[in-house]
Amino acid sequence: MDFSLTREQADIKRAAAEFARAEFTPEVAQECESNHRFPREIFEKAAKLGFIGLDYPEEIGGGGLGVTENVLVVEEFCKADSGIGMAMHLAYVPSKVVKLFGTPEQRKKFLAPLVRGDWVAAISLTEPNHGSDLTSMETSLEEEDDGFVLNGTKIFTTNAAYADFFVVLAQDEKEAPPGKGMTTILVESNPSSWLGGKLEINEIPHKMGIRTTSSGELVFHGLKVPKENILGERGRGLLNVLDFLDESRIEIAAQALGNAEGAYLKALNHARQRTQFGKPIIDFQGIGHRLGRLWSHLQSVKWLTYYAAWQCDHKTEHTSGTLPLITSMVKHHVPETAKMIIDETITVFGGYGYFLEQEVERRYRDNRIIEIYEGTVEVQLNNMVRILKKLNLDFIQSTLI
């Protein structure tokens, strides 16, 4: 067993921390939060330094590394600031579907501008009448001689207002059973790329958190796109998305990990410096014990996230079938635990923790969405139970040794 990072990984983690501390200043974070603005200028700087697309192919400008390296960057970005850190990650993580299933031409066209910081990606899965149920899609995809036509509505699309392209999941075969006959397709936001029809984008305002990003509704009015925009094999769309989620959910958990670490560090520093009755408040058991327990919780989610990333990067034929069990575990447990940690750090600050100035209340608001997007906590638990019912008991026992 070796729990240490490689030298390259340690360098990446350190560089990401230094960049985030320099760029994610409280003034910039508050300005983006107040104006609901995506800090594209910071995204461009991060891309130029190689932090965007670390696990994308080198031939299109990526780092050629793995999910673990992405996790380290996401963790450090969110540790520095939850709003900007999450916005940086959410700007490129949807494009992983292209990394996994795109043709060389699609990777060059859609991923190369993204890793340069010129483009932002989005993924549109959720629909008004189906929520977390990805086996039911009303958005339809119909083939014509010169392209594919989309009709339908998607909601809660992160980056909707400024994304340069969308990965859309649509029903390709009308009579297919639930979960079958779906296809993923790429849609550019630039109208000059359309062959007909219209894409309507409506902002969904007044979010609780991640106000550094846009969330919107996409309405496809007979939107026709070129045939070469089909992503992956037709009819395999849901499987494409599930394979994508096995990677992305681990990195989404890293958002929660970084958010909790950032809140904890602020609370620890406050407890050391804040004095009451002539001594630092960390010396009072009510505060000291709370910080001790939070440290234990923080280490547990840190190493669970790292382990999941390692498993994703080193999956074999023997372990690939259980990867969804691990990713669902990480996706429900890390955000839930991070919520508890951040909530407790607000208590350490007392009344001051409820105000914007201390930042921990904003971390709480930003973190809450991590339990919801890319599959709610309940969806992850359903996934885990379904897999646990099928796994061989000897295999389960071997994982507990």
Give the model confidence (pLDDT) of 23-44 as tens digits. Answer: 999 999 999 999 999 999 999 9
Residue 274 predicted with pLDDT over 80: yes
Q: Is the dihedral of CA 397, 251, 209, 348 positive or negative?
A: positive
The residues annotated as belonging to the active site are 374
* Per-residue confidence band for 320, with pLDDT thresholds at 50, 70 and 90: low
Residue 296 predicted with pLDDT over 80: yes
Query: What pLDDT is recorded for position 394?
Result: 77
Q: Which residue has the higher pLDDT, 306 or 1?
A: 306
Whole-model pTM: value is: 0.95
Residue 123 predicted with pLDDT over 90: yes
- Tokens at residue 252, please? 């989404």
Residue 319 predicted with pLDDT over 80: no
Report d(CA 244, CA 249) in Å as an integer: 8
Report d(CA 280, CA 284) in Å as an integer: 8
Residue 382 predicted with pLDDT over 80: yes
Predicted confidence (pLDDT) per residue in 63-90, tens digit: 999 999 999 999 999 999 999 999 999 9
